Amino acid sequence: MPHVPYHPSALKRQRQNLKRRARNKAIKTRVRHAVRKALEAIQGSDPNAAEQALRQAARELGKAASKGVIHKRTAARKLARLSRRLHKAKQAAAGQ
């Protein structure tokens, strides 16, 4: 059975935690969807769509990092890996 706070400050803290948890979950979900969409676009055939998707993913990652939902280095690492994949895909397409 979960702990039910009784003290007024503990009740307030629980309300804050629930609101923050919901907000963080929504932001993380948006980030995951943007990253997944970018990966799918990179694997696709349209380089312009891939660049747009990467830009959107970068925007979502930056927002999440600025709000403290994910660490700023985690956001930078994910963005770098996506960028590297995009550049490799472009080079492969140019080579063929």
Domains plus CATH for the chain? 8-95 (1.20.58.110)
- Using CA atoms, how far residue 91 sits from 29, 45, 87, 88, in Å, is 31, 13, 6, 5
Confidence of residue 45 (pLDDT cuts 50, 70, 90): confident
Instruction: Determine the average pLDDT of the residues in 26-44.
Output: 97
Confidence of residue 96 (pLDDT cuts 50, 70, 90): confident
Residue 2 scores a pLDDT above 90: no
Distance in angstroms (rounded) separating the CA atoms of residues 19 and 16: 5
Rounded to whole angstroms, the maximal C-alpha distance in the chain is 68
- Tell me what pLDDT residue 39 has: 97
- Tell me what pLDDT residue 59 has: 98
Task: Provide the token pair at 30.
Answer: 């948006």
Residue 42 scores a pLDDT above 70: yes
